[in-house]
Amino acid sequence: MTVTERHDPTYVLHQDTVPSADLGKFIEEQKKSCGLIVYSIDAVIHRFTGFSVIEWLYQPFAGDWNALQHMKDSWPQVATSLRLVQGNYQGLKDDAPTVWHGQGLDAAVAKLDAIIDYHANQAEGCDHLSTQLGHALEVSEAAIQVVSLALNFLDSLAQELIEDASVPVLGWGKALVTGPGKVKKAISLIKKGADAIKKLTDLLQKIPEIARYINVGLTLTDETLKFGNTVLSAEATSHLDDTSKQAFG
Amino acid sequence: MSAFDDPAFRQALAEADAAKAAALSSLQAERTVLARELEQFRKEKAERDKERAAAARRGELGPERQQLQRRIDAGATTWDDVRSGRDRHPSAVAVRGFIDRNLDALAAVVRNDPELQREQQELGAVLGAEPTWPDATDG
């Protein structure tokens, strides 16, 4: 019997990913502009609030968001590739009865059905991973916009505090009256930034739980595909290895 | 049944979807409010900046501030250069001295203001940290 693949699953993995939205790039750009503001105002804000805003408003966004975006965009490609492999097994199953009869065929069809199901499961798991990474990116983008606005506001407040203070003591009276109000506003802005970050971290805490389920699903698939040392299963697992290597290097 | 048909998994997915929608809605609303407040503050600040600069030009804020304003107007320096210490002109050095002294005075007022102390405690609770006070001359 000659077996020919209906679909080449690797071509999907060689394609460049097209970002669904350049959230990773946006977040990285926001981080840079926030970083510049934070370093210029941190000492002033710290002087009046007792807290360094660098650590609290900036650190949660550390990490490579472009890489996360790439992963989010790559998982659907992996899913597509797996569905093509699934289609190849489907073709093998459909064609087998033309050349193979008897109990051997029944056993092979049963194994092929299992492999087809498991590839479908793998693909679904990849889709779920992409969706969850997308959630993280979308909420991170919204959170960093709030943090960025809060930092820009803090920057304007700090500038005005400094410019108001740029006079001899005799001219400082009026600014000394309005100063505490600006400090109060600064504290409320830091709270808003911290609240935005809390919303993000609350969401991020839900993702590992989902990832655990996905991991269980994928592990079950991998284990099942290890049945017997048949050419069929070796081929199947090599496709999965190729898939992950092509997508994530 | 696939591992992904597990009702607990479906429940976790639904919860994550709902949490994302709630977080996005709340963050987008906060962003809108903050953007509007910031725009308004900047508009008002620009007016106050003009008034301050005019007072400085008339000499009402002292000779050092008047000289610094002339240099800013002439493009010889900027507030960034004054703030950062890059501008070493005597007028800039003198004005930085005013800034340090006045901000120290304001910091003392803030630290003794019961309402602001309460605000700081609340902020500490949000951040999960105790306030630390830098040296008075920093910043």
> Which one of B45, B60, B123 has the shortest CB-CB distance to A49?
B123
Q: Which long-range contacts (CB under 8 A, 24 or more apart) does B5-11 make?
A: B6/A213, B8/A213, B9/A210, B9/A213
Query: What average pLDDT does this structure show over B8-26?
Result: 93
pLDDT at A55: 67
Measured CA to CA, the distance from residue A63 to residue A67 in angstroms comes to 9
Report CB contact under 8 Å: A48, B41: no
CATH of the domain at A216: 1.20.1260
State whether B12 and A206 contact (CB < 8 Å). yes
Identity of the residue in A50, A194, A213 whose CB atom sits nearest the CB atom of B131: A50
Please tell me the total count of domains within chain A. Answer: 1
| Residues B23/A139, Cβ–Cβ less than 8 Å | yes
pLDDT in tens, A174-214: 777 888 899 999 999 999 999 999 999 888 888 888 888 87
Classify residue A5: in a domain, yes or no. no
Higher pLDDT, A14 or B139: A14
Q: Which residue has the tokens 């409320």?
A: A188
Quick check: is A51 in a domain?
A: yes
Q: Give the domain range for residue A142.
A: 10-248
The residue whose two tokens read 């997915």 is: B13
- Domain assignment of residue A212, yes or no: yes
**Lowest-pLDDT range, A25-29, A95-99, A101-105?**
A25-29
Q: Is A18 among the domain residues?
A: yes
Measured between beta carbons, the chain A residues lying within 8 angstroms of B113 are 180
The pLDDT value given to residue B32: 96
Is A67 within the bounds of a domain? yes
CA distance A53 to A175: 24
CA distance B86 to chain A (A): 14
Nearest to A152 among B9, B38, B65 (CB): B38
Distances from the Cα of B55 to the Cαs of A39, A134, A165, A249, in angstroms? 30, 53, 14, 63
Q: Please give the pLDDT value at position A222.
A: 57
Task: Reduce the secondary structure of B90-137 to three states and give it as a string.
Answer: HHHHHHHHHHHHHHHHHHHHHHCCHHHHHHHHHHHHHHCCCCCCCCCC
Asked if A156's CB is within 8 angstroms of B98's CB, the reply is no
Q: Is A77 among the domain residues?
A: yes
Cα separation, B111 vs B91, whole angstroms? 30
> Please, how many CA atoms are within 13 Å of residue B14, restricted to the half-sphere of its CB?
7
Angle at A37 between CA A55 and CA A163, to 5 degrees: 120
- Chain B hits for A52, Cβ within 8 Å: 132
Work out the angle at residue A74's Cα, subtended by the Cα atoms of residues A72 and A76, and round it to the nearest 5 degrees: 85
Interface contact A138-B24, CB threshold 8 A? yes
Task: Provide the 8-state DSSP code for A50.
Answer: S
- In a domain, residue A97? The reply is yes
Residue at A68 is within a domain: yes
Check CB contact under 8 Å for A50 and B120. yes
Residue in B27, B119, B123 nearest the CB of A142: B27
Task: Please answer whether residues B106 and A165 qualify as being in contact, where contact means their C-beta atoms are separated by less than 8 angstroms.
Answer: yes
pLDDT digits (tens, 9 = 90+) for B47-83: 999 999 999 999 999 999 999 999 999 999 999 899 8
Pull the structure tokens for residue A142.
Answer: 């919204």
- Of residues A13 and B88, which shows the higher confidence score? B88
Domain ranges of chain B: 1-53, 58-139
- Whole-complex ipTM: 0.89
Contacts 24+ apart (CB under 8 A), B41-50: B41/A153, B41/A156, B41/A157, B42/A156, B45/A156, B45/A159, B45/A160, B48/A160, B49/A160, B49/A163
Which residues on A lie below 8 Å from B9 (Cβ)? 210, 213
Share of chain A above pLDDT 90, in %: 18
B106: tokens are 């304001």
Contact B132 A50 (CB under 8 A): yes
